Structure 1
Amino acid sequence: MAAVLLIDDDVELAGMLADYLRRDGFTVTLAHDGESGVQAALSGQFAIAVLDVMMPGISGIEALRRIRAASRLPVLMLTARGDDMDRIVGLELGADDYVPKPCLPRELAARLRAILRRGVANADPQAEIAVGPLSLQPAQRRAYWRGQAVELTSTEFNLLEVLARHAGRTVAKDDLSQQALGRPLARYDRSIDVHLSSIRQKLGPLDDGRSPIQTVFRQGYQMIAC
């Protein structure tokens, strides 16, 4: 059973979600403020964390910032419905996915399983992938650019791996969403764009100044094969 850390100051809602997740096969630990949530998230006892954005004291955004400074623990954010800014900031800081509140417990469980499934699938031994100055070790989930380690979130690694395996070919955004995020691409969903923007910043340019990941207008994205 996957160990889930649920960080939300709404005691009643958190309890309801925890009850559902437990019935669905997860083990769940609750934290009701950002301070204790960050401490628990960095304890190494959990497979994934669910983090509410709107909390008193340390907000979910600040809690995510502190978690990402020290850990690659997968994090799913709970955001206010329609608040695109919180979603974009969370993704830029390294959140793996988000679910708008109020959410259906069944959707939350499905999103958690999708994130965890990707991690398990990518943990199997696989050959190294090399594309120009990029080197990926899927078994260890490690990435190197010009020989230097690149710190990627779980979702960023998934996206980069999909593009690297299809280097020189355009990958549609919906295919990227299905393969890397484990879900269909929703209308107006900008999460892939935000994740790829972060990856580009972390990798840097090719020798000719181009980004290694190119946007193909109205089609998707392509990693330059070089």
Structure 2
Amino acid sequence: MKMADPISSPEFPIPFLKIGVSRESTQLRKFRAKKNYTVIDIGSANVVELFIVNGDFDLEKFMRKWEMFDLLYTVVPIEYFVNGNLSKGFLGPKYEAIYSGNESLFRFKTMVNEQIGMMAVWYADNKIDGSKQRSFVSFYENQDYLRFMACAPVEYKYHNGSKSERKPAYKWQLERSQQRMDPAEYDNWKCYFEKLERENENSDILPDGFSLEVATHKDIMP
């Protein structure tokens, strides 16, 4: 599999695994926790997305530093980071969890060892019912995840019905980052993302884009 390395690529969570469990399943074994396990209580959720992170990854710091990317991590399903495609079948359940108003989407970081951690995201998907869709475990090739995220075309919708220009997510992010980043760090990231954009222009797989509602960010669509 073509996998990114969380030790040499420590800045962003790397999509890795998704687990969906049918609400009607009768074949699940009762989990018996051991002392070396980290137990995450996902409540009534039945979908868990797992991202590999560097051992030093700080979720709160990430949310402050990369707010545009954090928004995309929050809203889009893990499949988007794998293939750049925003399928409504995958988008719907996570979108509903975020905007249902009952705090039904959560994120949590735990350590695997001193060098590697895991970020978990969980939410409910009623379509996984054993009939329309069975329980599953999906591993992902993720070498292009950052390109799909950074180069995703993004536009803003304003309350008067007008729209902003449509440009890659990384450009919106860098506009926000320029005022608070050290110039050398800013230039480094700018060069890095521009390299990804050049790769994107020469790729056969171009990522779907997003339309974001100004201020509330409540609407996201391909």
TM range (shorter): under 0.3
TM-score by length of 2: 0.26
Q: Which has the higher helix share?
A: 1
Using structure 1 for the length normalisation, give the TM-score.
Answer: 0.26
Relative contact order, higher structure (CA 8 A, sep 6+): 2
